[in-house]
Chains A and B, each alone.
Chain A
Amino acid sequence: MKQIRNFSIIAHIDHGKSTLADRLIQFVHLVDDRQFRDQILDSMDIERERGITIKSQTVCLPYQGKDGQEYELNLIDTPGHVDFSYEVSRALASCEGVLLLVDASQGVEAQTLANLYAAMEHDLVIIPVINKIDLPVADVGRVKHEIEQELGLDAEHAVLTSAKEGIGIEETLEAIVERIPPPVGSTDKPLSALIFDAQYDSFRGTIVSCRVFDGAVRPGDMIRLMSTGRTYKVEEVGIFRLPRESRPELTAGMVGYIIAGIKTVSDTRIGDTITLDENPAPEPLAGFKDVKPVVFSSIYPIAADDYLSLKDALEKYKLNDAALVYQKDSSAALGQGFRCGFLGLLHLEIVQERLEREFDQSIILTVPSVQYRFTLKDGSTVVVDNPQYYPDPIDIAGSEEPYIRATIFIPERYVGQVMKLCMDRRGVNSRMSYPAPGRVEIIFDMPLAEVVFDFYDRLKSITQGYGSFDYELTEYRESDLVKLDILVNGERVDALSIIVHKERARERAVRVCDNLADEIPRHQFKIAIQGAIGGKIISRSTISAFRKDVTAKCYGGDITRKRKLLEKQKRGKKRMRIIGSVEIPQSAFLAALKVDEE
């Protein structure tokens, strides 16, 4: 156990996390140079393009220290978004230390703070690593000062690196060995292992990533997942080389995987404790939460007859994403589809993008909603996450919406703007504190519905990326809710309905109508787009008819060019839904979600 180190890397986007991970992997010769590719741990296209980590990746680096000892360094790469903060917290709970990676030219940026605070909460050793020191604009002195002043960390022994140039890689490995303590735990105690990730493999079923705190697990053991009580027979255990490597056992302190005939990742819960069925741990590890979706939206195929293909794609997708929940749904406007629950809007976007790219689906998503609670006059309560099931207003005795406690860290200079943003989003009961000079922590109680859409994006843009944001669900509170319907040429489009706070309804209606008017192409007739509550119209936009669209130009005998243009338009039309006689493109459904305030 003394030779094991478990660590994670915390970094602002673009500060070089993937490159540093690449260099560490290359330094220990885990893959040979011919097979190496950049961002080796980011296996999904979306991750590579957006520069974010969505799925945790773990790699076990064999390293011979300068002291001559052979070490096993487990790097647990974590996702970097508030939607996945629970996953991050479980990954951090599996570590003893973190590398805090700071760009030598940019300095400390706020986005890393939430994860840094989480690391502090877990009492992890934090090693500052100042990267990109090769840049001409690098200012190591200033960055060190910031680390000490703003984060209250000792920067004197910060490791200086240029991951790009391969500078300081060995020093980083040595710092991990020297400064991060080895795990503690007892192999003699009953097995207690923390699940921090699970991935689906089409040949082996679910591959559970875990950190063993006590005991040991071997092939043939019957394990029990403590939250569900289900038991499985272990087929294989091992560690995360590239690719993974089986081992005779995983023992206390180790990070590795377990394959145990678990069919889908949904059969596992991140944060759950694995123990042995015969000799169970007295209690599960602390911190388990059953993560529930907070944002709901329906997914429909663009072409109604692609429903079965979408069903198939969702089933396959779900194998690898336990956080997604879905069930059948149907809409008068869009036909058959699925109601889905997501961890947040980024999660929703990821699911959408992956369904489109990896599963080749053309889909429409409806406006996301949170779960509202209605008390009816007969005393019963209904929970509604789909505006279609909004109760008849006559029957409603009371309505409630979920609230969160939002924790926001920002540099002091942004306080005014951030306070305004929070209050615009119906934030109440604010508290402010100064955890460090120049840094402010603001806590607000806010309706979840106000933050799930674009709050984080707005916060980031207001604070130029320096704002960090985290939240926890607190309670349901009384709220005056209404259902806003959208009518296109007098016809209600059920897929565009929204449940919204009464005071926000008009503003929202105006914006949705405007957005739709921008996205729906002009037709040969005028199109009215209206927002309505009950029978009452509260907003209206009009799309004028096109009056002229003809090229009065000499084409000669080149018929092909014009036909190709028409063919392109024709393909575009296939990505539209006809409601009434109006063709509504997929982009219009997406535009209806946007709530930008500029």
Chain B
Amino acid sequence: MKMIDYNHLPVPGPRSSVIGEFPGLYIHVPFCRGKCPYCDFYSVPALSLIDGWLAGVEQEAAQYRKQFALFDSLYVGGGTPSVLPVEAFHRLLEALRSRFEFAADTEVTIELNPEDAKAAFFKALRSSGVNRLSFGVQSFIDGELAFLKRRHTARDARVALEKARSAGLDNISIDLMYLIPGQSEESWVRTLEEALSFEPAHLSCYQLTCEARTPFGRMKADGRIAVPDEETERRFFLLTSRFLRDHGFIHYEISNFARDEKSISRHNRKYWRHVPYLGLGPAAHSFDGTMRWWNARSVKTYCRALAAGQRPVEDSETLTVEQFRLERLYLGLRTREGVPLTDACDGAIPVAQVASLEKEGLIRIQGDRVLPTTEGYCVADRLSLMFPG
């Protein structure tokens, strides 16, 4: 890995494309009790490194004190943040509060796994100011959970969700997964229905993706996991969208659904809107409006760099105008907000291609914006390339 001294990086002022939005803060907790076979995020099962990591995050936060003054979202993700001992979690939030300013209504989210949910833990979360929980439930069918090698059962999930509610934490998001091998449309709907019974404010529905370099990726390569065909993928995707919209949810991003406008994840929306965010911790990504940079993946490398007084940055890039536009297009077109017509047409009047995409039913033009339709969502990966320029 190349280790650059980022102490002398130029520090351009945040250039938000959405005026008036504050940046978000992300903390990567790179620890898990064990690795799920589909996950390609960075995490290690070495809980003994927690203290070193925490010291590292404290040091890293100090490095950005001047550059990022005020946040209105804090997202503690992973990994599995719920493996952190209560004291460590308190210490983390304390450290962040002492180094950064947060807006009064800051959205504070923590990701957690049902098996970690203990009443004392929820109380601690509440007292430390967490106001949003993201549960990694994945499924309410035990067979499916076993296939995913999750460490919890459907019952554990139910109990955890109940406990959270009774601890007064009711801004809840549930992560679910579809196209698990063996999953039928009926069992997926059962999972969705059960999730809705907990009245979540938000749902994230991901399609199981078998990335190379994960155990599932290798099983896919060997043919031990059948890859669903396009029609099946489409059916599940549309079923999910239709089902949740019928239940009053807003399908505001490819994988994300909110009960109402105020339940849209403030933090995640920053990624899609090109709002700056700072990521602390190993493998965390940051964006200041112009430049993107990302940290070293390994906890040890990360800690070593910080101990030496350096930024633990692995690499960075400064976006060109063209890259900026491509990102705006592809990120925007993954959300119901779409993109300004001027982005789609690169400053020109709507050209034939934009009109024909509307005719094909992939987009709608509304006022000065291009919005993806549900059909557009279905092909979002290439929608951004269909615009000239």
Given A552-B205, A556-B285, A569-B385, is A547 in contact with B230 using a C-beta cutoff of 8 Å? yes
Which residue of the partner chain A has the closest CB to B271?
Answer: A557
**Chain A 328-359 per-residue mask, 1 if CB under 8 angstroms from chain B, else 0:** 00000000000000000000000000000000
| Nearest Cβ on chain B to A574's Cβ, whole angstroms | 11
Docked complex Cα distance between A234 and B278 (Å): 75
Which residue of the partner chain A has the closest CB to B255?
Answer: A552
Contact of A557 among B206, B207, B284, B379 (CB under 8 A): B284
Q: Which of A541-561 contact B (CB under 8 A)?
A: 546-560
Q: Contact: B331 with A552, CB < 8 Å?
A: no
Q: Which of B48-56, B154-162, B322-330 contacts A (4 or more CB under 8 A)?
A: B322-330
**CB-defined contacts of B284 to chain A, threshold 8 Å:** 557
Q: Contact: A560 with B379, CB < 8 Å?
A: no
Q: Contact: B271 with A524, CB < 8 Å?
A: no
Given A557-B277, A563-B326, is A552 in contact with B206 using a C-beta cutoff of 8 Å? yes
- Does A581 belong to the interface (CB within 8 Å)? yes
**CB-defined contacts of B271 to chain A, threshold 8 Å:** 555-557, 559
Given A524-B360, A563-B323, is A556 in contact with B77 using a C-beta cutoff of 8 Å? yes
Q: Which of B59-67, B286-294, B340-348 contacts A (4 or more CB under 8 A)?
A: B286-294
Interface residue total, chain A, C-beta cutoff 8 A? 25
- Does A477 belong to the interface (CB within 8 Å)? no
Q: Contact: A566 with B385, CB < 8 Å?
A: yes
- Does B380 belong to the interface (CB within 8 Å)? yes
Given A550-B379, A553-B206, A553-B255, is A559 in contact with B331 using a C-beta cutoff of 8 Å? yes
Given A559-B292, A563-B330, A567-B326, is A550 in contact with B231 using a C-beta cutoff of 8 Å? no
Contact of B381 among A547, A551, A559 (CB under 8 A): A551
How many A-B pairs fall under 8 Å by CB? Answer: 98
Q: Contact: A558 with B326, CB < 8 Å?
A: no
Q: Which of A118-162 contact B (CB under 8 A)?
A: none
**Chain A 391-427 per-residue mask, 1 if CB under 8 angstroms from chain B, else 0:** 0000000000000000000000000000000000000
- Does B382 belong to the interface (CB within 8 Å)? yes
- Does B191 belong to the interface (CB within 8 Å)? no
- Does B7 belong to the interface (CB within 8 Å)? no
Q: Contact: B237 with A566, CB < 8 Å?
A: no
**CB-defined contacts of A34 to chain B, threshold 8 Å:** none
**CB-defined contacts of B286 to chain A, threshold 8 Å:** 557
Q: Contact: B237 with A557, CB < 8 Å?
A: no
**CB-defined contacts of B357 to chain A, threshold 8 Å:** 524
- Does B114 belong to the interface (CB within 8 Å)? no
Which residue of the partner chain B has the closest CB to A550?
Answer: B380
- Does A562 belong to the interface (CB within 8 Å)? yes
Q: Which residue, B41, B254, B331, B382, has most C-beta atoms of chain A within 10 A?
A: B382
Docked complex Cα distance between A556 and B207 (Å): 15
Contact of B230 among A548, A551, A558 (CB under 8 A): A548
Which residue of the partner chain B has the closest CB to A555?
Answer: B271
Docked complex Cα distance between A553 and B237 (Å): 12
| Nearest Cβ on chain A to B386's Cβ, whole angstroms | 7
**CB-defined contacts of A581 to chain B, threshold 8 Å:** 356
Which residue of the partner chain A has the closest CB to B382?
Answer: A549
**CB-defined contacts of B385 to chain A, threshold 8 Å:** 566, 569-570, 573
Q: Which of B19-46 contact A (CB under 8 A)?
A: 26, 41
Q: Contact: A525 with B360, CB < 8 Å?
A: yes
Q: Contact: B330 with A562, CB < 8 Å?
A: yes
Contact of A550 among B254, B279, B285, B317 (CB under 8 A): B254
A–B pairs, 17, beta carbons within 8 Å = A524-B357, A524-B360, A524-B362, A546-B379, A548-B233, A550-B254, A551-B209, A551-B254, A553-B209, A554-B206, A557-B26, A557-B279, A557-B285, A558-B294, A559-B327, A559-B331, A560-B294
Report which B residues bind A (CB closer than 8 A): 26, 41, 77, 175, 204-207, 209, 230-231, 233-234, 237, 254-255, 271, 277, 279, 284-287, 292, 294, 317, 323, 326-327, 330-331, 334, 356-357, 360, 362, 377-382, 384-386
Report which A residues bind B (CB closer than 8 A): 524-525, 546-560, 562-563, 566-567, 569-570, 573, 581
In the complex, besides A567-B323, A567-B326, 7 extra interface pairs with C-beta distance below 8 angstroms are A524-B362, A524-B382, A550-B377, A552-B206, A557-B279, A563-B327, A570-B326
Q: What are the 5 tightest A-B residue pairs by CB atom distance, in nearest-first order?
A: A557-B285, A548-B234, A552-B207, A550-B380, A553-B209
